[in-house]
Amino acid sequence: MRLHFLKNSQVTCNDGTAAGFYLKEFRGSRRWLLFLEGGWCCYSKETCDSRYQNIPRLMSSSAWPQTKRGTGIMSSQVESNPHWYNANIVFIPYCSSDVWSGTGPAPTPPPRARQGKEKERERNVNATEYTFMGSLIIREVIKDLIPKGIKQAKVVMLSGTSAGGTGVLLNIERVASQLEQLGAEAQVRGLVDSGWFIESKQQRSPNCPETVSCSPEDAIKIGLRLWNGVVPDRCRQLYKRGEEWQCFFGHKLFSTLTSPLFVVQWLFDEEQLRVENIYVGGQSLSEEQWQYIQNLGRELKNSLRDVTAVFAPSCLSHTVLTKSNWMTFQVKGTSLPRALHCWDRSLEATRNNRTPSKGCPFHLVDTCQWPQCNPTCPALVDQATQQKLTLLQMLVAMGLDPQRLGLDPQGEEDSLVSMVSNGG
């Protein structure tokens, strides 16, 4: 894929450098895959300065390479990407730090008297020289793709991982509207990978954002003002002013979307656990934290109940679509590429007033209860030794007694295999 900078030089990365996209064209194809990169966000002068110092590529294009090789669903090799290798692939690097929601300079708040810490807090949040234009970047990329043929597209899949996945949820209706206004007849679809977050259970920090210990809810709440962030109109109408941050959570936003959506989500997402300061493979784990891990799986499963197209393995991991081994993961005997193909066929059948074929599933949620009970899960790795471990070995290494947790070390392997074979 080759780098193209945006023609509109007013829409930029955080530091004012040109935003852009990588493009691999497939001559004659009327299918387009637009991919939003992930990488969380920053929401104050302190967090943005730290991000710029430690991960500058997520805020600036100054060091972006001229070419990039696509992996996973962006691969051009048929053997590693059987159903999307022959699409036009567009990778949009994340350099706006706003969960793809920003629309330009933050509005200056009206002057009013502030006292002590409150005054200091507002200065911290608003006194930043960065620009946040994630949503505008997506809009400009689509404009720049018009000469490349996106107006003639049959299908446009807006996809992304992590914060990029949440960006899909936030922008899919805008993208569909923009293409419709351009006269395109494409069906716009969304593919969300590891961006379906649920609210944190941790105590809110009274010092947020003076510290970096903000919960995701607080970070987004504060960030929305800084980013001049936008959420889909139909979701915004559900919440009163100041509560729009709730639209960043998939299960609250999903019912307001009209475009077809496919959600890929590990049931024990490592980033969701990290928010609660749980690091599987780290130093230690309490029984309460283990209980939280199990509850997270149940909560995520419940939140996905009404999603028509979903692939949710019972694994501890984060992101799938760009992994080179993305074809190896299965739920109920079906791989993710196969499930996406079944979804594609079903949507095409519906558009052409045909009955979708049976025996091609795309609502796939593991039914087994434990993390890693799916035998195709990515391996757990001990952070200290870099050795691959089973879940039981990992729990023992982290100071827990599997029998106290209701796990039988002798019979567990057999019972897990049994659960998986019986629909896990």
Residues marked as catalytic: 162, 269, 318
Q: Can you tell me the distance from the alpha carbon of 138 to that of 388, in angstroms, rounded to the nearest whole number?
A: 39
DSSP state of 27: T
Q: Can you tell me the distance from the alpha carbon of 381 to that of 226, in angstroms, rounded to the nearest whole number?
A: 38
Q: Tokens 């620009």 — which residue?
A: 131
Q: Are 106 and 225 in contact (CB under 8 A)?
A: yes
The residue among 232, 216, 160 whose CA lies nearest residue 189 is 160
Q: Are 345 and 357 in contact (CB under 8 A)?
A: yes
Q: Can you tell me the distance from the alpha carbon of 1 to that of 67, in angstroms, rounded to the nearest whole number?
A: 5
Beta-carbon contacts of 35 under 8 Å, excluding residues fewer than 6 positions away, are: 73, 74, 89, 90, 91, 92, 159, 160, 164, 321
Q: Helix 116-126 and helix 216-227: axis angle, to 10°?
A: 70
Q: Are 98 and 227 in contact (CB under 8 A)?
A: yes
Q: Can you tell me the distance from the alpha carbon of 399 to that of 397, in angstroms, rounded to the nearest whole number?
A: 5
Beta-carbon contacts of 206 under 8 Å, excluding residues fewer than 6 positions away, are: none
For the beta carbon of residue 35, count every other beta carbon within 10 angstroms.
Answer: 26
Phi-psi region of 183 (alpha: psi -120 to 50; beta: other; left: phi over 0): left
Tokens of 277: 């300061």
Catalogue the E-assigned strands of 134-280. Answer: 155-161, 187-193, 261-264, 268-269
Q: Are 306 and 51 in contact (CB under 8 A)?
A: no
Q: Can you tell me the distance from the alpha carbon of 163 to that of 159, in angstroms, rounded to the nearest whole number?
A: 11
